[in-house]
Structures are given as structure tokens and as C-alpha cells.
Chain A
Amino acid sequence: MCLAIPGKILESAEQNGLRIGRVQFGGITRQISLDFVPEAQVGDYVMVHVGFAISRVDSDEAERTYRLLEEMGALEAELPPPEDASSSS
């Protein structure tokens, strides 16, 4: 129920005093309310929950965290399996 998915703002417009955006999720595009993310611009990613963008994805922070994790994963691929790994599963 509290799921929110990331989508990219393709365009935004005012409708009856509310800010509406066309937001792309993978291959699907939907009309999303952008009222809670006044700072979000076309091209930004937003997290969307029940038709409302609730945050603008901080791409710098996402990039920084992911790079650290990626390095960890790359290292893992170089290592032998952990000693306590079960053989059957």
C-alpha cells in the first residue's frame, strides 16, 4: 500500500490550479499530480504513490550510494563463495 515507484517527468502543465505531469514508468505513461513536488522539473525522476509525486529523486545521492554498492558487488564477484554457504540450495 505504501509503495511508490520512480518515474520520469516528460512534461508538466497547470490544470484547474493544480500542477499535473505526464510521467513515464518504463514503457507506460500516466498523468500524475506534481503539487507536492514544486521543485521537480521536466527530466527529473519522482517517486509516485496513488497518483501523486511525493519526492524528487536525488540523483546525486542515488549515484553516490550506488557507486559504493557497485564496488562492493564487484568485489564479491571476485571472491570464492562464503564458507557457511549451504550446498543444497
Chain B
Amino acid sequence: MKYLDEYRDERIARALAREIGEHAKQRWVLMEICGGQTHTIMRYGLDELLPSGIELVHGPGCPVCVTPLETIDKAIALALRPEVTLVSYGDMLRVPGSNSDLFRAKAQGADVRVVYSPVEAVKIARANPDRKVVFLAIGFETTAPANAMAAWQAKRESLKNFSLLVSHVLVPPAIRAMLASPENRVQGFIAPGHVCTVMGFQEYEQLVRDFAIPIVVGGFEPVDLLQAVLMLVKQLERGEARAENQYVRSVTHQGNLSAQQILKDVFEIADQKWRGIGGIPRSGLQLRPEFAAYDANKIFDLDLITADEPAECISAQVLQGIKKPTDCAAFAVRCTPENPLGAPMVSSEGACAAYYHYRRHTFAS
């Protein structure tokens, strides 16, 4: 496929790895933010192609992984109500809640449906006026405009049986929180190309100014990621800190203004809890008061549901690049994709699942 295959060209990947090796004189720790990028790195073995002095650590950009436990518990509780149809992206079904998951709720008879697009969730509500249709609206800035469009359409059509259980997270506040932490090891970031397709990269320029750290907006194919690493290494070796854009075929400086407009019309910035990490101020989105009639948290009595994370899972350190999945005693032993202790093992974009699928545990000491 055009714009995919050419960015998977092995010759170009090897040439980039060689050039990275020629520029890298010192050791550098770099983080890719997005789980899709982590998946590409593991799938194509890019970490093994890089010179040993370049360490890639994996960021918190897997929305499935960071959706709070209590949101999963709320979704399960809603799904088990006889009048509710719970609509979700497929990735969420096997994410463990405190005692169950949506897949098991479905097996118990709950009406849980999987959609590819939020548009389909609205269609389900239109076609089933006797059902209360709740859409589990998760995601980063990439997905937020599409989810916002579902709320906007429902309001425009005055649908009475549609609501959203919202858990939206924002990337720049999470980077800021990581950089402010005394435990931070990251010296350069690959920013998420599709988040920046929507939002542009002005907020990342602010992070560069505040923390004097290079940030390169990167794509998702092997060649994209290696080129982004090369751009970071060149900056670091020269002692520079700038915001650069590798993913020029999709990302512009200002981003997608139409998508940003609907996002602002429907959502407002709010404090947000990240599974495994905890609360980060102003790092999430909630529905604006004008959309209160479509807010599942307000329509249903859900606020009493709270949940604590299991102690054995070290996802907090994994999601912030402090530890690798293979540093966890439970990894591939008590925690596997079939029986996950924490969310990074569930989604194929979670760092733990990516390590597991591509058999990194068999190489670890």
C-alpha cells in the first residue's frame, strides 16, 4: 500500500541504523510516547538494529493501558444492567477490571458490542430506541475528535438513549509530569505522530523551551522511527534542543483545525487519573456542561465506584520508562496476555504485551 510499504524498506532501515551509529558518540535514553510506535519497534526488532548506546524506553501512550481501573469497573457495572447496551472499541474487552472484564460480562449475558468507529455507536442508539446505549469513549487526542463527533451528532438529533462514558487522556501534560519527576531518565522524545496530526506540535515546542529537551514528531513505520531516532541523536550530540517534525506527510505545525474545533466544542480539559500512574492535573477531557445529558457519569449513578490497583504490577514504572517489562518478576510468569495482572499486558500496544508477543523474555537474562 502506498505510504506504508516504502516506509518498511529494510535497506533504508539498515542505512538509517548505520548513520545513527556514526553519529552516536555517547549513550542516550530516548522514549517513544505512543504504544503503536512501541509495537513497531518490537515487531521489526528496531531496538536490536540500533547501536548499543541508544536505549529506547516506552512511554504511556497506550490509551487502553492507562484507562483507569474504576472506568473499566463502571463500564462492566453498566453493561450488566439489563436496559443497557455497552458499546466499546474492541481493544477494551479483555482489559481487567477489579474483578472481571467486559468479555466475561458479555459471556454472562450483558449486551456488549464492539465497534470500529463511534459513528456506529450512534447508529446502534438510533436503531434501538428502547435500549440505553453507552459508548465507552476512550483515547488520546487522535481519537477525541471522532468521539466528540458522536456526542455532537447525538445532541443534534436529540437522541434520548445515547451517552458516553468518557476517559480521555492528553499527551503533553503526561510528558511534563515525567520530565518534572526526579526519577526521569529520558533525554529525548519521539512525539506521537497521529496525536500531532490532530493537535499540531506547538505544545511540544513549549515543552522543549521549558525543559531544554529535544522532541521529534515521529511516524509509525520502521523507517519513520529510525529517522526520528537519527534526528534526536544528531540534536543531542550537538547539544541542541529543538522541536522537529519527521512525520511531514501527515503532521503540520498547527495540526487539524477542524478536528480541534469539534474537540473544543464538545470537551473541556479536566484533571485525569491514569491507570498505573495516578492523577495528572489537566491531563484529560470531560464533556462540557452543554453535553451533560450525554454524560454516562451524570445520567447513571456511578460516582461511588472507586478501585485500587493491584500491588504486584509495576506498570507505573514501565509506562514512565523507569523500568522495562522484563524487569518485572511477574512478567511472562504470573502475568501473560491470557492472564494479565495489568493493562500493559492486555493491549497489543502495551509495552509488556509487545515484549511478550515478540519473545523478548526468551532473550532476557
What residues of chain A have their CB less than 8 Å away from a CB belonging to chain B? 1-6, 8, 25-26, 33, 35-38, 45, 47, 49-52, 54-55, 57-59, 61-62, 65-66, 69-70, 72-77, 79, 82, 84, 89
Contacts and interface: CB of A to CB of B under 8 A. Distances in A.
Contact of B1 (A26, A55, A82): A26
Given A57-B250, A76-B18, A3 B194 contact: yes
B198 A54 contact: yes
B3 A50 contact: no
A33 B149 contact: yes
B149 A52 contact: yes
B34 interface: yes
Interface residues on B, range: 35 or more
A70 B12 contact: yes
B64 to A, nearest CB: 6
Given A2-B139, A72-B15, A76-B14, A58 B119 contact: no
Contacts of A51: 116-120, 146
B16 A45 contact: no
B349 interface: yes
B194 A65 contact: no
Q: Interface of chain A, helix or strand or loop or mixed?
A: mixed
Contact of A37 (B14, B16, B143, B258): B258
A82 B51 CA distance: 11
A55 B118 CA distance: 18
Contact of B12 (A1, A58, A62, A72): A72
Nearest to A76: B15
B354 to A, nearest CB: 13
B15 A2 contact: no
Given A36-B259, A70-B12, A5 B118 contact: no
16 contacts: A1-B35, A1-B64, A2-B194, A4-B142, A4-B197, A6-B1, A26-B1, A33-B119, A36-B145, A51-B116, A55-B256, A61-B249, A62-B249, A72-B19, A73-B15, A76-B14
